[in-house]
Structure 1
């Protein structure tokens, strides 16, 4: 866990380490949608923009759990569109990205199933999220070709040609003459939020360049006679990095009527610089509905439990895919006697958790087994852990839901100074959440969140910055049971996402080019093998609580 300490206690821990020579210095309106019985009055000429974001393959309806408020599902989205159309609305069904990856329901097909569900539901357009690149740019191009709707990203270009990677915008004209223009923006964080190798050769316009791109799109769509302009911008407004948030785009452009946001999994409904900014959270926990009449835009979000409609054809398709995946991944590989915490915040993106410990222990164990040498430590970025594991049987489906990426497990040798920079950079925004937060094994470190993070140079092809003064917030207490020195070298196990420079880990990629090697195992292999072999198939009570490897100073 991130053990919360007073600053005095924090200082004491660091002082003891020095003595023993082991340290070298948002609100939303919720309403019911029109029912299939036609209870709401006819409303000719009105526009309903139904929108989703960050569905992440959670396309099958599911009851609430301790960690989820419930999943409405794609069959409900499909029926909702039909219901509004039946009520006389002009309807657009839009998605803001991160649709094809995360849940095993869509992962086994590398996103094809997600696109098939969206085709069945009748989507009119989607933007590209960072996770659309998780199976590689070539795979995404195939999915774009498979989609019955345009996939949009105005700010992504191909370096070799200077041409757009995908369509920039689309114009929709309804029978009453209403023209609606929609353009897409992909987060510049994609350069590190997906594995960097997956976006090699692509440029994501950021900051002023992205604002200029957005304004050009607005102007172009207005020139085409669009009375309404919608931005599908997978950027995020909460916890994102200025200057690449939706808030930054809206502050630096004019003429966007509705900005449909995503990426940060927040529920948003607010006016910003004359534009309506909305986002539904994630996993179809809500379905957004923006209603437009006489130039006024109002979000009337449909929450889980507020709507029971279901399109049968879409439901049949989703269930058939679900059953097929279940059959493939039904093998039980072990049990856990304790709940393993994979929540985001507070959780694996802000503090040490027992699931983070389990995952890092597995990587370290597997790297030791594979290399035949002693590996000092392991780092697992919190963003790679996608869900919790409840006490009970653990199947392959469970593990692949929680750890969906199946990255290769690599080893890199780092100088102590490099390791300090890496952990300092990866914890730059604590106590705010970050997908780069390092869950660790064989390593103990402390973070003083009361000290400011001073930015140095921006990492190449990244939205992140190196720390100007590594060690100003982070103190490494121990690595591999042999203390810590800036000058010593340490062998560290990590996924290929980290060793290729994902998230804040650019410095790892530099070192990996010189000293790295692959173990021949994936991170999924490590988890399975550690559970079955090292733990004898049982995660026991020794993992009931985090093991106090990470300490954080608080007031």
Structure 2
């Protein structure tokens, strides 16, 4: 029995020794208890003084300070006594422990260098973004770039607080932003009197001072004539571009230019609206042809494709719904973005429609941008560039409030001030010493509805025509697009009137058949309509005719375009009564020379005409003696909704509704229903509304998703995808536990089972 117990004890000692050694070895292999999100081990032969150096990409991922700490931790401090490196780095988002092991083979100790193992403990986000190329030194770098742009400045040389940034501040902003490019999308020279007086030359000087890289040719660039435009082109220090304008069969301007800035080759292409043929003075575009914008731009892109990294189109096309779709900027960028041959990113910087696009519009990663008008905003486009490719194009605006505290460039401000003082001295004549009427002439008013200023201008033109033309004027009209400013209360000078009528147009009179008068007013009120708050509204139209007091126009905006006129009545000055228009009679109609030549699409006008003095002189002469009290209203009553009242119905044989016999289409109506749009009842109310009144458009076409926090959601609020890792993801799990506290150690279990078995064996032998 004693011998058996002795043998058993020896076997147990041996068993415990073997299992103990196995346990220690296993524990050493699994190292220490560790809860981590990721472990990255880098084994490499290095010298005692060698260190891990973070790359720029590491700094980008973790920040400058964290990357520096990674480097310090990886280097550690060598302990010559125990051949171990201990890390003294502070605890950060990315901490490091470094252990050094040496080969114990004494035969190789003299030839092998120590090997160090660096272990990085990283957070979830850091682990997800960590990659081997983090430590590369030759990976392509992503850089950020910007472009500044303007459009439709319209002669705004000087600053106007709260309204106009001015060219001197623009120069300062450019110096601060340091963009790759400074571009303009057209209609810069013509507009306010200061620029007009010099036929655009003062603006050309200012643009040179700002330092533009290129500009597009706008329709109003032709207002001073083709020869003057070519003179302005010669004055500029940068190219004036248009790929679709031809003169006598030859290209009139350079189609494109390639500018290399900060390592990027920009292909800049200009394009001009074909509407120019009806939106400038006809004598300025004799022999000039405007070809298809999309075809012209696409052809130029393909011609220079291999020489550029990205395209910037400076387009004077606009996005006004009244413009033919294929001539619009949004149509252009949409079609270009869908062209499979054009793989390089495209940015279209637009103008012409005076639209404010706060954050632009995105089409398949290509962008459309526009600032509005009158230098109230500066466009800013940022994007990323990496390895020859442009991405992440983001348009935005710098508005007039953003630059309130910006100091204007001193030299340019002085240059503009001197020019302005000279001009004001020339136009200081007082026309009205104390004006008591607010004359409405803002764009949003004169292009959408009848205004008291439009009426006053038309009355002035009729008064001139009655006295000065060979045939007494029957009535006068003036286009809303030709009115560019209001007249405020107080002293009114000639300078103020030139600001209202800045184009230098002259007064003219032509003979127009009654049927053509009808067609002209259908065109005047033919702009697209839309629904707003349950009302039918008309979008802005520069061709909207303002009328003199000798004509009344009755209309219905709920009818389709081209069929909206119910009746037109013209004053019979011999008997002092209004009569319905005679479609066969020829009327003597006074208008400006622009409209008389077919401008704004009035192709029914034209032919021989008498001409007189400039419109600002006509208006000045009239206002000096006119009874201004008649204009003290915000709701003029010359363009009326509905049909004439019973007492105003046409006599037998006169025209009621076009194409009908007298009286058949006219119904007696309550006098209160013959009204200006502003007085219409709520039901069926018709309001003439500007296309872009007080609106800011932005968006990304085809996208209905928005980022909220760390989740991607649809606009309906339904979560589409989570940006954070699920709780049971691999990054949240602990690594296997090691050490003496382990509850399921196999050695412990084995010894326990063996002991129980031994005790059972001894008891059986005793029993036997």
**Could you say whether these structures have the same fold, taking a TM-score greater than 0.5 normalized by the shorter chain as the test?**
yes
Q: What SS is found at the alignment partner of 2:502?
A: coil
Which of 269, 282, 295 is the equivalent residue of 2:373?
282
1:164 has 2:271 as partner: no
Shift of the 118–541 alpha-carbon distance from structure 1 to 2, 3 Å rule, reads same
Which of 229, 236, 243 is the equivalent residue of 1:140?
229
- Gap runs ≥5 in structure 1: 1-42, 65-69, 454-466
8 A contact 2:471–2:588 mirrored in 1: no
1:502-547 C-alpha deviation (Å, 9 max, x unpaired) = 00211111xx33xx322x3222221011112x42xx7335443443
8 A contact 1:336–1:540 mirrored in 2: no
Distance 1:284 1:299 in 2: 17
1:396-446 C-alpha deviation (Å, 9 max, x unpaired) = 110001101222211112121010011111221151111000000121102
8 A contact 1:59–1:283 mirrored in 2: no
Match of 2:399 in 1: 303
Match of 1:489 in 2: 586
Match of 1:128 in 2: 217
1:337 has 2:419 as partner: no
**TM-score for the superposition, normalised by structure 2:** 0.59
8 A contact 1:182–1:231 mirrored in 2: yes
* Aligned ranges 1:153-232 → 2 under 5 Å: 153-158=242-247, 160=248, 162-174=249-261, 176-206=262-292, 210-224=293-307, 226-232=308-314
Cα displacement (A) at 1:392: 1.3
Which of 459, 477, 480 is the equivalent residue of 1:361?
459
Q: What SS is found at the alignment partner of 2:325?
A: coil
* Aligned ranges 1:1-40 → 2 under 5 Å: none
Which is greater in Rg?
2
8 A contact 1:120–1:313 mirrored in 2: no
Distance 2:439 2:392 in 1: 46
Higher relative contact order (CA 8 A, sep 6+): 1
Cα displacement (A) at 1:292: 1.8
Match of 1:29 in 2: none
* Aligned ranges 1:442-521 → 2 under 5 Å: 442-453=550-561, 467=562, 472-481=563-572, 482-483=578-579, 484-509=581-606, 512-513=607-608, 516-518=609-611, 520-521=612-613
Match of 1:76 in 2: 169
Q: What SS is found at the alignment partner of 1:216?
A: helix
Match of 1:433 in 2: 540
1:2-26 C-alpha deviation (Å, 9 max, x unpaired) = xxxxxxxxxxxxxxxxxxxxxxxxx
Cα displacement (A) at 1:222: 1.9
1:276-312 C-alpha deviation (Å, 9 max, x unpaired) = 1111111111111111213221123111121214222
**TM-score for the superposition, normalised by structure 1:** 0.82
Q: What SS is found at the alignment partner of 2:173?
A: helix
Cα displacement (A) at 1:479: 1.4
8 A contact 1:195–1:501 mirrored in 2: no
Tell which deviates more after alignment, 177-186 or 478-487: 478-487
Q: What SS is found at the alignment partner of 1:475?
A: strand
Match of 1:233 in 2: 315
Cα displacement (A) at 1:44: 9.7
Distance 2:592 2:632 in 1: 22
Q: What SS is found at the alignment partner of 1:406?
A: coil
Distance 1:259 1:106 in 2: 27
Distance 1:94 1:198 in 2: 25
Distance 1:322 1:306 in 2: 25
Root-mean-square deviation (CA, aligned residues, Å) is 1.8
1:349 has 2:443 as partner: no
1:314-338 C-alpha deviation (Å, 9 max, x unpaired) = 2221222122222111221114211
Cα displacement (A) at 1:81: 1.7
Distance 2:328 2:192 in 1: 26
Match of 1:48 in 2: 146
Q: What SS is found at the alignment partner of 1:300?
A: strand
1:188-233 C-alpha deviation (Å, 9 max, x unpaired) = 1110110222111011013xxx211111122223221x11100000
Q: What SS is found at the alignment partner of 2:157?
A: coil
8 A contact 1:81–1:91 mirrored in 2: no
Q: What SS is found at the alignment partner of 1:63?
A: coil
Q: What SS is found at the alignment partner of 2:443?
A: coil
1:64-83 C-alpha deviation (Å, 9 max, x unpaired) = 3xxxxx11111121112211
Aligned length: 471
Distance 1:140 1:214 in 2: 22
Match of 1:411 in 2: 509
Shift of the 336–120 alpha-carbon distance from structure 1 to 2, 3 Å rule, reads same
